[in-house]
Structure 1
């Protein structure tokens, strides 16, 4: 069955939301329909930086990718940041994740961007096996600081 990767469209709301809830469940995030609604609005807003791809196999949605372009000042160019990548559990191991990443690589090449970059949880070893095949691990650490009033 051929895999089709295409931009998310307005008619994809239900299928996309099912996949995105699966992504959030995988990372043990609290269910929050306001997050689902906000991200959906972003995806349909041409002026918003977040864009989405959906993977379809035999007409069935099996994966998604949320991504955005970002500036790389240290390299004097721009790149793609892959925020979220998810494959439905029934479709894992079938090339969905690698196809979504490959599509982003083609977009980067077409637009003259520097790279496709992403992060993953240290515990997501299944995804890391894919990532180790299609990319190189960056020698950086990620830090998070919350907002501060002072």
Structure 2
């Protein structure tokens, strides 16, 4: 398993993975939306960054992440927005390798935390997350402006 930054030739594999991620969460996502996110992760001026996991058969996973300010602690953290591994590659260590890559990026940048959210019923992923990180007591809210 190799984790690296996405390259232009990864577009079709990344697109397949990101559509799978949206489908997993039941989110309607259009090709235009994926075009936008792909442009973000390829724009050094945009906050969204990515890693991909590559196996013998091509891309098997993705992670999208970004820095975020933590005013209360006067630090910067990293937020793992999206993490997805294709169903056929689950259990291969791809998800853990992607999380470790984001954590290493955070260490290099001096981030104070890597944070992410997941669905409460995402039991398989939560087993990995519980092994790698500490669940927080915080409750998440969404307000549509």
Q: TM-score, normalised by structure 1?
A: 0.94
> Which runs of at least 4 in structure 1 moved beyond 4 Å after TM superposition?
none
Change (3 A) 1:31 1:111: closer
1:74 is paired with a residue whose SS is: coil
- Whether 1:117 and 2:100 are equivalent positions in the alignment is no
Name 1:91's counterpart in structure 2. 89
Name 2:51's counterpart in structure 1. 53
2:16 to 9, 18, 23: 18
2:125 is paired with a residue whose SS is: helix
The alpha-carbon deviation at position 139 of structure 1 amounts to 1.1
> Structure 1 CA distance, aligned partners of 2:143 and 2:24?
23
2:34 is paired with a residue whose SS is: helix
Unaligned runs of 5+ in 2: none
Name 2:100's counterpart in structure 1. 102
Unaligned runs of 5+ in 1: none
> Structure 2 CA distance, aligned partners of 1:143 and 1:36?
25
Give the total of aligned pairs. Answer: 145
> Structure 2 CA distance, aligned partners of 1:60 and 1:41?
21
> Structure 2 CA distance, aligned partners of 1:31 and 1:104?
25
Name 2:6's counterpart in structure 1. 8
> Structure 1 CA distance, aligned partners of 2:108 and 2:143?
34
> Structure 2 CA distance, aligned partners of 1:98 and 1:81?
16
> Structure 2 CA distance, aligned partners of 1:125 and 1:135?
15
> Structure 1 CA distance, aligned partners of 2:77 and 2:29?
31
1:5 is paired with a residue whose SS is: strand
Q: TM-score, normalised by structure 2?
A: 0.97
Q: CA RMSD in A?
A: 0.9
